[in-house]
Amino acid sequence: MKYFILPLIALAGAGIPVQVAANTRLEKAVQSPVLATTIAFFIGAVAVAVVTSTGWLGRGQLLEAHTAPWWAWTGGLFSALVVVISIIGLPSAGAGGVIAATVLGQLVFAVVLDHFGWLGVQRIPVNLWRVIGAALLFSGALLMRHK
């Protein structure tokens, strides 16, 4: 499995521009980015409920959810924020611009999380290579804005 995890992540990532485009088209039909997000999340919730019911990736222990720290409950809020902002941003930034800016935000905050070991992640101090990588990604995000 360790040899397949990065390709699987890349494959899942390839679906994100499709998700943004599909959600934006849905928003045009329902005339609300928040309603489009609600519909998309409902469909996603049904899909993951079906997968959960099969036990394919484990059924988990729902009764233990209360043991998670408060911040663990914010994931859905951040997911919704990403989807709504992506729907709003796609017409002006394009799929490439939305994804570049999204990845830039993810990378910069991931470096901060790693550096301080916040939210239970393993501490990995920032170094010159990580700063250069973030700067290059920032440059790429800016270049994606040019048409």
pLDDT for the residue numbered 100: 85
Q: What is the largest CA-CA distance in the chain?
A: 51
- Whether the Cβ atoms of residue 107 and residue 140 lie closer than 8 Å to each other: no
Dump the DSSP string for 83-106.
Answer: HHHHHHHHHHHHHHHHHHHHHHHH
Q: Hey, what's the torsion of the CAs at 135, 138, 139, 140, to 10 degrees?
A: 120
- pTM confidence score: 0.81
pLDDT tens over the chain, length 147 residues? 678 888 888 899 899 999 999 999 999 999 999 999 999 999 999 999 999 999 998 889 999 999 999 999 999 999 999 999 999 999 998 888 888 888 888 988 999 999 999 999 999 999 999 999 889 988 887 887 776
